[in-house]
Structure 1
C-alpha cells in the first residue's frame, strides 16, 4: 500500500508539470555576469519542460531552444554605457571606480529605461500569464513589480553573494558582527575597530537604501503603475524563496532560514576541449600558461597606458605563455610579446580546467572565484569595484589567492605575485582543498535550484516557509525596543533603590542625631 501511495504521488507530480509552468525571469544587473546564473537555471528548468522568458540588458549571443530573451532597447543602451569607462584607472588613482552616488543613480535610471521601453509595455499588456517570477537579488526593487502585475509568487537569485539586503527581505539574519560589507576587504572574523567600521558601513547603506527606495525610486515606479501600487518595501518582503549564489566553502557560513538555498557554482561544469588554435598555444610550452581576465565589466582595452605597459613588461619576463582576455585585436598592441596571445572572448571554464594552466590573474569577480576553486587553480586578484574586495579577501583568507591593490601596483609586485602562487605549493594545495569541499555536495547546485523552484511552483508560493521576522522593523528584529525597556527598567529600579537607600540613610542619620541630642540634654 505504501508503494502504491508513492507511485500515485509521482504520477501526480509528473502530470502537474507535463505541460510545464510559465516562468518570467528578470535581472537589472549592470554586468553580464549577472546573467550567467539565470541562464544556467533557465536551461535546467527548460530541460524539465518549463517555459522561460528572460528580461535582461544583454542581447543573447546564441539561441537556446525553449528560452525567450527580451532585451528592451532603452535598457540595453543605458547599461551598455554605464561601465564603458576606465574603471582600472579610477581605482589606480585612489578613487571609487563606481562611487556610491552612481550606484543609486544606476538603480533609478536603469529602472526608468526598463519601464519606459515599448518591449516592456508589450510584455506587460500582451495578456500573457505566468506562474512564477524570478528576479535578481541585486536591484530587485524595480522588477519585483512584475510579480505584482502578473499576481504570482516571486523568487530571488541573489547573484551577488555578499549583498545581504536581499537576504534580509526573506527574514534571514545578517548580523553586522560577522557579515562583512561587500565593498571593503573585511572578513567574517573582524577585530573591534573593523566591526565598528563595518557597522557604520552596513547601517549607512541600509539607511540610504531605504530612503532612496521610499522617496526616489517609488515615485518613479508609481508614474508607470499608479498610486495603487503597493510600497516597494512591502512587495520585496513577500519573496517566496531565495537562491543564494554562495556556499560556505567559497563565501562564509551563514544562518539562513529554510526559504534560502545556496547555489554557488550553479553554472560550473567540467572543462571541454579547447578550439584547436587555443589548444596549440597553451600546449606549446612545457612551462604551462597563465590566464588573465578582468571579467565582463572591466574593459582592459580602456586601461591606462602605463598599466598596459606594466602588464606587457611583466608578461614578457615570465617563462609561461599568457592567454589574455582583451577587448581589442592583437594589432592594437604593437609591443605584444611572443608569449602572449589576446582574445576578445575566451572559454574561461575550459581554460581553467586545462591541464597546463598554472595560475589565474583576475579582478576577483564572484563567478571567476567560484570557477577558480571548482577547477583548482591558484589566483592573483586585483579588485576594482563592488564585491571584488570582499571576494578577494575571502580567497586570500582561504589560502589560494594573493591580493594586489591597484593603487600600489608595480611591475615587481605583479611579477612576484604570479611567481609566488605558481612556485609556492601552498596555494595550489589550498585551492585543491577548497575544490574538494565545494564539490562534496549531495547534488549539483543546478539540481538544487531546479528542485526549489519547482517546490515554490507546487506549493503556490511556499508561504509556509515565511518567517514573521520579514515584517519586523530594524528596532523590532534586533530587540532594540526590548533592550531599551529592560535598560529603562534597570535604570528606574537603580534610581528607586538609590532614592530609597538615600532616604533611609537620611532618616537613620536624623534619628541618630536626634537621639544623641536628646541624650546630651538628659545628661545636662
Structure 2
C-alpha cells in the first residue's frame, strides 16, 4: 500500500507543468472565468504564470501575475457608459455583419497594443523562460499563438461564450446553419425556412470574413511581433494545432450543438459553494421580513452611469417595494430610499445564495445568469449589450426571466415586471429547474476543465482528436465542390439530352417532307405516264 502511495506521488509530480495564461481582455467578468481555470491548475501543483489587467488581490501558491498595469475596469466602463446613454445596443440583423467586422478590427488593434505592453514584452524578450502549455482567450487574438511557437508549447483556447463561428472553424468543429442558430441573430431554436436562409447566408459570410480578413489580419499582427522567430508558420496552421477548446457553455443555458471530442463545454467553472456573508450585510438581509431584491449590472457596468430617467424609475419602484433592496451603486445615490442599501461591491454568489433573496435585477451577463440559475433565483433583465439581450432571450424562453428594454424603461414597466416575478411562483420554479440541470453532472465544470487540460499535457497536444476537416478548405468542408460537381453533371446531362432531343425532332421534321414530295411526284400526270410505261415494260 505504501509503495502505491509513493508511486502515485511520483506520478503526480511528473505531471506538474509550466503553464502560461495570456488574457489581455478589458472585461473583468471574462477575466474571472479565465483566472478560475488558472487557479484550478495552480491548486493541482502546476506552475502558473498569468498576463492580464486583473492580477489577484493576494498572492497564491504556484501562481505568478504579470500585471499589464492598465485600468481595465475604467476603459470598459467608459465604453459601456456611452452604450447605456443610447439606451443599450440597438443594432440588430441588418447591421450585424458590419458591426462584427468593426469588433474584429478593434480586437486586432487591442491585441497589437497588448503585445507592446511591458508585461508581454518581458516574455517576448526573455530567452530563458520556458512553458509547456499556453492558455489564451479564443475570440480574435490569435496573434498570441506566436508564444506557442516560441515555447514549442501545446495550446488550450478558452472561449468566453458558447463559441463564435470563426473560433469553432479554427478547430474544425461543425455548426450546421440548418439547426444551429447564429450567436448573432435573435432566432428561435426551431427556425423557419426564411430564418434558415438568413442563418445560412450569415454563416457563409462569416466563413469568408474569417478566410479573407480575420486570419490574414491576425497573421500580420503575429509577424510584426514574432517575425524574428525561426520557422514561424502561418497563424492558421497554429490555430489548427490547438489541443483543446473550452467553451463557457452548458446545456442548461444553450441549445444542444455537435461538438468534437476536444471541444469541451465548461460553463459555470467560476461557480463556487456559497460562503458566509459579512456581518453587516447578513444582518440587513436576515432582517428583511418580505425578502430582498438584489440589483447589480455586473462587474463592467456601473449603475451610476444609467440614464437619469432609468435611475429615477428604479429609485421610485424600489422605494415602494415591500422588500429590502441591495443595490450595487458606485456613487452616492440621490434621494436614497430607507429600504435600499447601496455599495460599490457585494459578494454576489453569496448574496444570491441567501434564502431570503427574491429577485435578481441584472444586465444579463452570462456569468451573472449562471450564478442566478445555480442559486435558483428568478431574474429581471435590463440588457445593455447584444450578448446580454441574447442571454436574456434564452432565459425568458426557459421561463425564469422577465426583460425590460432599457431604451423604453418606465416606472410602470419596471414595477409591472418586478411584480410579476415576486407574485408568480412559476418563475422561481423555472429557476430552480435550471439549477437542477446545471448541478446534475459527474464533475464540476472546473474539475472537467482541469482534467481535460491535464489530458492535453499528458498526450502532447492530443493530435489524435483533431478533425480531418482541418485539412480541407471551407468550400470543401461545406461540400460546395461536391455540390458543384453534381450540379455540373446534372447540367451536362440536361444539355446532352436537349441536344439529342433537338436532333431527333429535326430528323422527324425532315422525314414527312421527303414522303410528301415523293407522293406529289407519283400523283402528277408525268408521274402517272412514267408509271404506266414501267408497267408495260415489266409485262413484256
TM, length-normalised to structure 2:
0.88
Structure 2 partner of 1:177:
178
Determine if contact 1:299/1:327 at 8 Å carries over to the other structure: yes
Given candidates 6, 11, 22, the residue that maps to 1:15 is 11
Asked if 1:116 is matched to 2:116, the reply is yes
Determine if contact 2:104/2:140 at 8 Å carries over to the other structure: no
- Cα drift, residue 19 of structure 1: 6.5
Given candidates 20, 41, 44, the residue that maps to 1:45 is 41
- Structure 2: distance between partners of 1:198 and 1:313: 42
1:247-297 deviations in whole A, cap 9, x for unaligned? 122111110011111111111122222111111112222210111111112
Distance 1:408 1:200, change over 3 A: farther
Structure 1 partner of 2:418:
418
Determine if contact 1:157/1:242 at 8 Å carries over to the other structure: yes
Matches within 5 A, 1:211-226: 211-226=212-227
TM, length-normalised to structure 1:
0.91
Matches within 5 A, 1:100-499: 100=100, 103-126=103-126, 127-226=128-227, 229-328=232-331, 332-499=332-499
Given candidates 31, 36, 40, the residue that maps to 1:35 is 31
1:197-241 deviations in whole A, cap 9, x for unaligned? 334444444444444435544333322222763322222122111
Determine if contact 2:163/2:247 at 8 Å carries over to the other structure: no
Given candidates 77, 84, 97, the residue that maps to 2:78 is 84
- Structure 2: distance between partners of 1:508 and 1:13: 92
Tell me, which stretches of 5 or more residues in structure 2 are unaligned?
525-540
Determine if contact 1:358/1:378 at 8 Å carries over to the other structure: yes
- Give the secondary structure class of the aligned counterpart of 2:144: coil
- Structure 2: distance between partners of 1:320 and 1:200: 49
Determine if contact 2:48/2:62 at 8 Å carries over to the other structure: yes
Determine if contact 1:240/1:259 at 8 Å carries over to the other structure: yes
- Cα drift, residue 143 of structure 1: 2.1
Aligned length: 514
1:283-335 deviations in whole A, cap 9, x for unaligned? 2222101111111122222222112112112211222111111222xxx2221
- Give the secondary structure class of the aligned counterpart of 1:17: helix
RMSD of aligned alpha carbons: 2.6
Determine if contact 2:274/2:350 at 8 Å carries over to the other structure: yes
Q: Which moved more, 1:481-490 or 1:291-300?
A: 291-300
Tell me, which stretches of 5 or more residues in structure 1 are unaligned?
none
Distance 1:392 1:13, change over 3 A: farther
- Structure 2: distance between partners of 1:428 and 1:325: 23
1:480-516 deviations in whole A, cap 9, x for unaligned? 1110110111111012112212211221232233234
- Cα drift, residue 520 of structure 1: 4.3
- Structure 2: distance between partners of 1:269 and 1:78: 24
- Cα drift, residue 107 of structure 1: 1.3
Determine if contact 1:402/1:417 at 8 Å carries over to the other structure: yes
Distance 1:508 1:121, change over 3 A: same
Is the radius of gyration larger for structure 1 or structure 2? Answer: 2
Structure 1 partner of 2:527:
none
Distance 1:115 1:373, change over 3 A: same
